[in-house]
């Protein structure tokens, strides 16, 4: 990865804040890293290589803190241009200034974060091309790279009944315009991945919905997009991001297991992986680590949207990750997966609506980056120094026997398996030792 | 299906209650059907043929109302034998008396409901064979048939870490003894299906668990069972019953989508279908109708465990189905599926712990049967008389166009699809009309 | 209550739709009532008197279908004025046209629904006075009355940390401006009640919050408002509307029991009652009927926000009430309460985001009104014709004994109570008969 | 508090395990404390004085791991006597051996944990007196004290419809027998508190229930119990333990706010405090810290049941506390409360069903004790060394002004408050700084 150069545009937006330094655990400075020391080596890779942080363009530079009960609260100084396109340029300046001062190597965007929609489809395409050209220059100047691009096919009112799963073919065609353009943009900017988040692909009401037909359309649409992308020279992974509900009552990409089944069913498993978001996992009734494990054990862990929800709130709160347990568990899976490959940790998170100071955006990202860096250290130590991995391995040792191998390789039938029991009438009870594991886990949480 | 003959054993257990009659909607008699008129024809089939009711042996004849906070409350008069086997025989008498008085055509059991475990595996097998012989005679006498059999591989302490997914191969072998015996019993009794409910196949704690290895074992075990069953002459469907949690923190058979993906992955999709339980659906964050739809649209709706949960309680309350909305929705899916085939509606439900009168078991079943019969009438009327099916069909008409057909058949690429939009810049917004559907639904709820 | 006259302004907004007629259960006309026959007498009162329907100004005339994932979809033809005040006038015309065509006797509003905020507090007050004058004329013309008024002290960004519970006293003072003005408006318009919904009174984060101090401020503020209102001539009830969360992580008015405790603690119990919303009840883990019962048994059932949530979505979906079970249960409590007094049934509900036809707003209200009218009939029949009330009364008959009376009146001590048991060693087990009640309930659901 | 002496009975049950030593953070010994150093002073008190740990007799010595899907798995060597009373004596020996080796200063029990119910009420009373005599000797020998006693009025089938809220007065009388006996036992053993957990005080079904009458009975019963206790010489606090549901669908003691309102309503607030359980808090939709804060700010934080639930399981999992965030937050409230007074931290937690090794019970308690000790250190440091308390105080500084004081003391009316705003038209937006607090919190989590 490139070194990151602080990149300020014509106007400095985050005055008084420079490059965020690493100061170590004992520092009292809020605007400094306490754990994230990008060059520090952890088991053969630097922290920067392990963690591959990315900033989410939409939350950090477009969101103003609105919620269903009130408009935005955050005065973003870059929302100042006289035309939408001019505004988009100031926003781009602000974004690269922020990201480069923070020192993250990656960013992610939707087409309409970067560039205004315009009055016509033609204007939309032209705007996006313009902004991509400018973003490319910013990438070069700063050293920051594109982790992934995507198309926003859910905000425009035309998508109110879905995009690829819309009952109206013409709306699906509109989505094709955006997906084509966003793939082109991703290719042009050297993006490592291209993401599909379900948006409004799902249903509000089961009885006006033909679920099977909608899912078939979705599968077909994704194959079209894949084929186009490959022809356009895209070499990276396509990613699906599971979410169980919101905005739809039911989202089709419910969770990892559902999406993996769908991808295999529709012949997409070779080109697609998963982008796992913590808050989406919990809304689906799973832990973050569970969803990561399901993806990883299927060879489909593509990337991570690093955030968190609130255990007592049933919607996507998109908070910055600060829980060291969740993050250490995530890093246990990531390390077990051999790393994130071309994926990364994208902070799909927003500051709270009432966090209205300019520095709050820095504090939030610093908190998230420090938490994951600390989690990396804890997880690495657990795997390298603790009894945990060995205990887990030993728990399955009976399956490493001759009989176990025959079972696992399909060389044993039910009667032979029954025969083993008839020879061993008195089964043993082997403690699962959960409390011992939990104590060890806490010992390495430090 | 056979006519049902009231079948009382040496001792009558439900004295004072005879064959439950159909008396119609205006009857005030608690021990009579108000909607379930078994011979009434609804769209070409009788109610009895549509609904294929079954009684669950475990809840109705083994359960005594215990819960985690206290022992059983219900004095079952058939728990009276001097030996476990003698008790099992009294229980069999009581069961067939109850079921035949109720007039249900089917029942379902676990091996250990019907027959005592015994002190050794050999004794277990012998007991089961004895009881199967007696049950076969009872079936013949009463006309009641076996909807499905299964093996209880979760109650015995040896299964505390799972059965097919146990870290100890020998425990898995013990499960093979039971599954083999329960398949044999099902074949001998002419069972239409054989069910696997996940029991303790899942995890309590992620970090002492090798999920991938456990799932591979499960897949392998199910193939062994299927192969054995086919060799033993079993012609029916194997069924998996999804459930997301409880007793395990996470159960592997989380929901329909998860199970269908698993079955396809492991080459089991031709022999296995799903047994959908209402309360398991809701624990997984889905409506009952959603889970039924997912199963049906994949051609995998095998059978139904008819019960309900409590919206505000996060565990499996296994209440009798009484909600006419849920049941009408279920019957909409069932009718759309062309019926339940060789499956049925099994009341996997228990009377409340404080429902201690003998008649309560009758009242509970009558309520469930009447609710589903009424739901059948409502659903049938919605499909035959209301505007609902036509409105849903019309919603997708753009896909029936030439362009739609090309899309659906894979003859259109992303650029061609984009071309459609460029020709149609101004997309329409078509109301989803949810409120109109909801009003219609209520109109036919009667 | 007055007869309602259709009241169209300078421009008719709902062309092609006239006064909604009652056509009865067999009608196929979507724009007609099938159950709500306003003059029909049910047990001594007309349906109109029982149900006291109100339309919510904010959802029906201000909401455009925006959600956190996209802007509004619904083109409201009355959003057409050149200035905010002119727009507010068109909206007022539209509102009274809609409400009078629907035939509801009441409406409810927030200050800022009716009237634009303006650039200064003075302009805000002046705007509101202007609009109140116009609304008063509309009320007179149409016969529609004000069920309740309230102040929106949560949407404006200044309230991002709360209003009466804001850490900044000056923001609380701003709330006082609005509450004073909204009380004045309510008095001027003859409003029967004045409502406080918690808005952002709660916390996002426990550790920057002094909960005790914030709650003391809230109690003090409500006493100030009450005292002002009484001096201003307000004779009706003040109402608190419980909600457990959203927008705040935790809302202080969590549920009925919490609010009742708070009101008593702060000396507000004589002037305040509760406004119970169905969807807020379910978010708090309670059934709608539970919350109504708690309010009623404390003599504090003031009014109802009639809507519903989605069992599987953890946010306030504010759907129109269509579930006959929930609504019949609600009406059982209301009838047991002797009616709603000066309260009513306010449809705090919005059409779905994708319900974009003008008629959808009518269909939604018609569905809600028909459901509650049908629920009234069911509940009335259960109370008058069924065995239910008698069964419940008989269940407690032991408490009507001499010993029971001594217990209830405080004339028995623990030793005397123990003495009863020592004389009656063998306790009986009396079935709760839940299944019998449930069957009866379904019998009267018709 | 007394020093604890290892107290082994006639037979040693936990052979091979001696007094658990403190070895410090770097120790790899599973059977040693890493944080809990009972004599270590933290801000003026020893850890032992701060934490006041107690063992729960029911989970640790009576529970065998049964769940609704299978019987117990854990072979408790002390379940060996020939009669129930003899068994109870062996259990007492085992309990004091375990507790004294662990070094906890307190324990808690239900009457029926300690002593067998017997065939008659007379036998029940006699058994309990016998066991109390023996326990008293054990307390003296070991130095272990009774934190609280209680009566189990929920397990016996007679309580299936509740105890104090039973529709049958005679069952309530049976409860009086037990409560009287359990109070006597608590007084005799010098118990510091007497607890009421709601058991089955609640409802399964709203429509067979007279909630108001049941709650009045509950209030009356608690006053009887209080009066008896005071006459019997009990000087400590009575405690109510909130829980929202389970076993009942709805438990009357839903949460802290509900219980506090109830206690005040029934004149019980001077004698009663709250016993807050972590897992009950989360089932009610609250964080543990929230419930503790509500109790504390009302002067009613009596004691704590220290355990945890599973975020994804909707029942009381009663796991040992291991989450350092939850525990640190709890200790922030406890320190802010000036400590627990005569209350303590009772491990109302059980080892997992598959934790079948004898050492697992030690490991579980050691984990819980170490986590709370570490949480105490973190919370103490946050309060003493971090910017957190000062930031929170400063947030409310506007209320410390002259105007604020007038508001708080009731000397300002709504018009005067409004006047403040009219003088200050432009409100400021002050960031809540949540992210800054969260980063600080993590910095002190160590």
What confidence score (pLDDT) does residue D80 get?
87
Give residue for tokens 């690495």.
A380
| b/e per residue A151-189 (b: at least 16 CB within 10 A) | bbbbbbbbbbbbbbbbbbbbbbbbbbbbbbbbbbbbbbb
> With 80 as the cut, is the pLDDT of residue C376 above it?
yes
Q: Tell me how many degrees the CA angle B299-B302-B305 measures, rounded to the nearest 5.
A: 135
Residue D234's φ and ψ, nearest 5 degrees, are -80, 125
What confidence score (pLDDT) does residue C1 get?
80
Pairing of strands A53-56, A345-347: parallel
Using CB atoms, pick whichever of C363, C370, C432 lies closest to residue B436: C363
Instruction: Give me the sign of the Cα torsion angle D16, D22, D27, D32.
Output: positive
Nearest of D392, D394, D286, D272 to residue D336 by alpha carbon: D392
What confidence score (pLDDT) does residue A426 get?
82
B contacts of A173 (beta carbons < 8 Å): 417-421, 424
CB distance A312–C250 less than 8 Å?
A: yes
Residue ranges of chain D whose CB lies within 8 Å of a chain B CB = 65-73, 154-157, 159-161, 199-200, 204-205, 245-247, 249-250, 283, 310, 312-315, 317, 352-354, 356
Question: What does the radius of gyration of chain A's CA atoms come to, in whole angstroms?
Answer: 24
Using CB atoms, pick whichever of D220, D396, D429 lies closest to residue C407: D220
Q: What are the percentages of helix, strand and coil residues in chain D, rounded to 5? A: 45, 10, 40
CB distance A352–C204 less than 8 Å?
A: yes
Q: Tell me how many degrees the CA angle D99-D103-D108 measures, rounded to the nearest 5.
A: 45
Residue C228's φ and ψ, nearest 5 degrees, are -60, -45
B118: region left, alpha or beta (phi > 0 left; psi from -120 to 50 alpha): left
What confidence score (pLDDT) does residue C2 get?
86
CB distance C356–A160 less than 8 Å?
A: yes
Ranking B133-137, D13-17, D200-204, D423-427 by mean pLDDT, the lowest is D423-427
Chain D neighbors (3+ CB pairs < 8 Å)? A, B, C
Tens-level pLDDT at each residue, chain B (446 residues): 889 999 999 999 999 999 999 999 999 999 999 999 999 999 999 999 999 999 999 999 999 999 999 999 999 999 888 999 999 999 999 999 999 999 999 999 999 999 999 999 999 999 999 999 999 999 999 999 999 999 999 999 999 999 999 999 999 999 999 999 999 999 999 999 999 999 999 999 999 999 999 999 999 999 999 999 999 999 999 999 999 999 999 999 999 999 999 999 999 999 999 999 999 999 999 999 999 999 999 999 999 999 999 999 999 999 999 999 999 999 999 999 999 999 999 999 999 999 999 999 999 999 999 999 999 999 999 999 999 999 999 999 999 999 999 999 999 999 999 999 999 878 889 999 999 999 999 999 99
Per the prediction, chain D carries an average pLDDT of 97
Nearest of C74, C55, C54 to residue C64 by alpha carbon: C74
Per the prediction, chain C carries an average pLDDT of 97
For residue D198, the chain B residue with the least C-alpha distance is B69
Domains and their CATH numbers in chain B: 41-385 (3.20.20.150), 388-443 (no CATH)
B109: helix, strand or coil? strand
**pLDDT > 90 fraction of chain A, expressed in percent and rounded:** 98
Structure-token pair, residue C51: 């149900």
Interface test with D, best of C245, C249, C261 (most D CBs within 10 A): C261
Using CB atoms, pick whichever of C177, C289, C418 lies closest to residue D206: C289
Q: From the CB of residue A39, how many other CB atoms can be counted at a distance below 10 Å? A: 9
Rounded to the nearest 10 degrees, the angle between the axes of helix C169-188 and helix C121-142 is 20
What confidence score (pLDDT) does residue D258 get?
98
C-alpha distance from residue C2 to each of B237, C105, C141, D427 (Å):
65, 7, 11, 43
Model confidence at C424, pLDDT cuts 50, 70, 90, reads confident
Q: Which residue has the higher pLDDT, C39 or A2?
A: C39
For residue D167, the chain C residue with the least C-alpha distance is C396
> Per this entry, what is the length of chain A?
446
CB distance C322–B442 less than 8 Å?
A: yes
The CB-side HSE value for A235 (13 A sphere, CA atoms) comes to 4
> With 80 as the cut, is the pLDDT of residue C178 above it?
yes
Residue ranges of chain C whose CB lies within 8 Å of a chain A CB = 65-73, 154-157, 159-161, 199-200, 204-205, 245-247, 249-250, 283, 310, 312-315, 317, 352-354, 356
| Average pLDDT, integer, range C304-333 | 98
Rounded distance, CA D275 to CA D194, Å?
Answer: 10
- Which one of A50, A59, A111, A113 is the catalytic residue? A113
- What DSSP string describes A157-205? GGGTT-STT-SSHHHHHHHHHHHHHHHHHHHHTT-SEEEEE-TT-EES-
CB distance B160–D73 less than 8 Å?
A: yes
The residues near C296 (Cβ < 8 Å, ≥ 6 apart) are C333, C336, C337
For residue C255, the chain D residue with the least C-alpha distance is D258
| Average pLDDT, integer, range C271-293 | 98
Active site residue D250: no
Q: From the CB of residue B337, how many other CB atoms can be counted at a distance below 10 Å? A: 17
CB distance C429–B73 less than 8 Å?
A: yes
- Which one of D93, D111, D113, D305 is the catalytic residue? D113
**pLDDT > 70 fraction of chain A, expressed in percent and rounded:** 100
For residue A72, the chain D residue with the least C-alpha distance is D429
What confidence score (pLDDT) does residue C243 get?
98
- What DSSP string describes C54-87? EEEHIIIII----BTTB------TT---SSHHHH
Rounded distance, CA B190 to CA B147, Å?
Answer: 9
Q: What is the largest distance, in Å, between two alpha-carbon atoms of chain C?
A: 84
For residues D176 and D224, the answer to whether their CB atoms sit within 8 Å is yes
Interface test with C, best of B435, B437, B439, B445 (most C CBs within 10 A): B435
Nearest of A334, A440, A439 to residue A380 by alpha carbon: A334
> With 80 as the cut, is the pLDDT of residue D132 above it?
yes
Rounded distance, CA D12 to CA A131, Å?
Answer: 78
Summarised one tens digit per residue, pLDDT across range B402-445 is 999 999 999 999 999 999 999 987 888 999 999 999 999 999 99
Rounded distance, CA A184 to CA A178, Å?
Answer: 10
Rounded distance, CA C173 to CA D423, Å?
Answer: 10
CB distance B247–D160 less than 8 Å?
A: no
C-alpha distance from residue A47 to each of A30, A208, A351, A369, C178 (Å):
20, 50, 24, 10, 53
What confidence score (pLDDT) does residue D189 get?
98
D contacts of B151 (beta carbons < 8 Å): none
Count interface pairs A-B at CB distance under 8 A: 261
Summarised one tens digit per residue, pLDDT across range A275-284 is 999 999 999 9
What confidence score (pLDDT) does residue B140 get?
98
CB distance A311–D282 less than 8 Å?
A: yes
Rounded distance, CA C288 to CA C282, Å?
Answer: 7
What confidence score (pLDDT) does residue A427 get?
87
For residue B74, the chain D residue with the least C-alpha distance is D157
Summarised one tens digit per residue, pLDDT across range D369-411 is 999 999 999 999 999 999 999 999 999 999 999 999 999 999 9
C74: region left, alpha or beta (phi > 0 left; psi from -120 to 50 alpha): beta
| Average pLDDT, integer, range A290-295 | 98
Chain A neighbors (3+ CB pairs < 8 Å)? B, C, D
Residue D116's φ and ψ, nearest 5 degrees, are -70, 150
> With 90 as the cut, is the pLDDT of residue D428 above it?
no
What confidence score (pLDDT) does residue B128 get?
98
Model confidence at D2, pLDDT cuts 50, 70, 90, reads confident
C contacts of D285 (beta carbons < 8 Å): 244-245, 284-285
The residues near A186 (Cβ < 8 Å, ≥ 6 apart) are A146, A148, A149, A194, A234, A236
Model confidence at D81, pLDDT cuts 50, 70, 90, reads confident
Rounded distance, CA A231 to CA A226, Å?
Answer: 9
Active site residue B113: yes
Chain B neighbors (3+ CB pairs < 8 Å)? A, C, D
Residue B207's φ and ψ, nearest 5 degrees, are -90, -5
| b/e per residue D149-160 (b: at least 16 CB within 10 A) | bbbbbbbbbbbb
C contacts of D378 (beta carbons < 8 Å): none
Give residue for tokens 């985001």.
C353
The CB-side HSE value for B168 (13 A sphere, CA atoms) comes to 19
Count interface pairs B-D at CB distance under 8 A: 93
Give residue for tokens 């194959």.
A223
For residue B31, the chain C residue with the least C-alpha distance is C436
What confidence score (pLDDT) does residue D426 get?
82
D contacts of A370 (beta carbons < 8 Å): 439, 442
Using CB atoms, pick whichever of A172, A213, A422 lies closest to residue B417: A172
For residues A355 and A418, the answer to whether their CB atoms sit within 8 Å is no
A372: helix, strand or coil? helix
For residues B180 and B233, the answer to whether their CB atoms sit within 8 Å is no
Count interface pairs C-D at CB distance under 8 A: 260
Chain D: give the shortest CA distance to residue C306, in Å: 20
**pLDDT > 90 fraction of chain C, expressed in percent and rounded:** 98
CB distance B434–C312 less than 8 Å?
A: no
B contacts of C357 (beta carbons < 8 Å): 431, 433
Interface test with B, best of D255, D314, D317 (most B CBs within 10 A): D314
> Per this entry, what is the length of chain C?
446
CB distance B367–C430 less than 8 Å?
A: no
For residues A258 and A216, the answer to whether their CB atoms sit within 8 Å is no
CB distance D355–A432 less than 8 Å?
A: yes
Q: From the CB of residue A212, how many other CB atoms can be counted at a distance below 10 Å? A: 13
Per the prediction, chain A carries an average pLDDT of 97
> With 80 as the cut, is the pLDDT of residue C22 above it?
yes
Structure-token pair, residue D245: 């549901």
């Amino acid at each position: 990865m490139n070194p990151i150069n602080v990149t300020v545009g014509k106007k400095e937006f985050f005055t008084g804040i420079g490059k965020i330094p690493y100061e170590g655990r004992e520092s009292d400075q809020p605007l400094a890293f306490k754990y994230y020391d990008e060059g520090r080596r952890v088991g053969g890779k630097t922290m920067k290589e392990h963690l591959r942080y990315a900033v989410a363009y939409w939350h950090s530079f477009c969101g103003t803190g609105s919620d269903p009960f009130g408009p935005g609260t955050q005065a973003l100084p870059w929302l100042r241009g006289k035309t939408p396109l001019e505004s988009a340029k100031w926003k781009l300046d602000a974004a690269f200034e922020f990201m480069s001062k923070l020192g993250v190597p990656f960013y992610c965007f939707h087409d309409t974060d970067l560039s205004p929609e315009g009055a016509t489809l033609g204007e939309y395409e032209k705007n996006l091309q313009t902004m991509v050209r400018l973003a490319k220059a910013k990438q070069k100047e700063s050293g920051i790279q594109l982790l992934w691009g995507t198309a926003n096919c859910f905000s425009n009112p035309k998508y109110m009944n879905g995009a690829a799963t819309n009952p109206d073919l013409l709306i699906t065609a509109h989505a094709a315009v955006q997906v084509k353009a966003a793939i082109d943009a991703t290719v042009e900017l050297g993006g490592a991945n291209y993401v599909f988040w379900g948006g409004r692909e799902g249903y509000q009401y089961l009885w006006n919905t033909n679920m099977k037909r909608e899912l078939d359309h979705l599968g077909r649409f994704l194959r079209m997009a894949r084929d186009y992308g490959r022809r356009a020279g895209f070499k990276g992974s396509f990613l699906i991001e599971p979410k169980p509900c919101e905005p739809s009552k039911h989202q089709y990409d419910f969770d990892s297991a559902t999406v993996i089944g769908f991808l295999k069913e529709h012949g997409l498993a070779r080109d697609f992986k998963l982008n796992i978001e913590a808050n989406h996992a919990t809304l689906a009734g799973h832990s973050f680590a569970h969803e990561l494990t399901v993806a990883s054990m299927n060879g489909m862990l593509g990337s991570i949207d690093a955030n968190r929800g609130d255990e007592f709130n049933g919607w996507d709160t998109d908070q910055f990750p600060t829980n060291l347990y969740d993050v250490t568990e995530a890093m246990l899976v990531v390390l077990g997966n051999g790393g994130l490959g071309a994926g990364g940790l994208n902070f799909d998170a927003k500051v709270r609506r009432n966090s209205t100071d300019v520095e709050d955006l820095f504090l939030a990202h610093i908190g998230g980056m420090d938490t994951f860096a600390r989690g990396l250290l804890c997880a690495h130590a657990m795997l390298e120094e603790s009894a945990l991995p060995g205990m887990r391995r030993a728990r399955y040792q009976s399956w490493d026997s001759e009989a176990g191998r025959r079972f696992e390789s399909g060389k044993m039938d039910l009667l032979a398996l029954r025969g083993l029991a008839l020879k061993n009438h008195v089964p043993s009870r082997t403690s699962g030792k959960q409390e011992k594991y939990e104590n060890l886990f806490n010992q390495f949480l430090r």
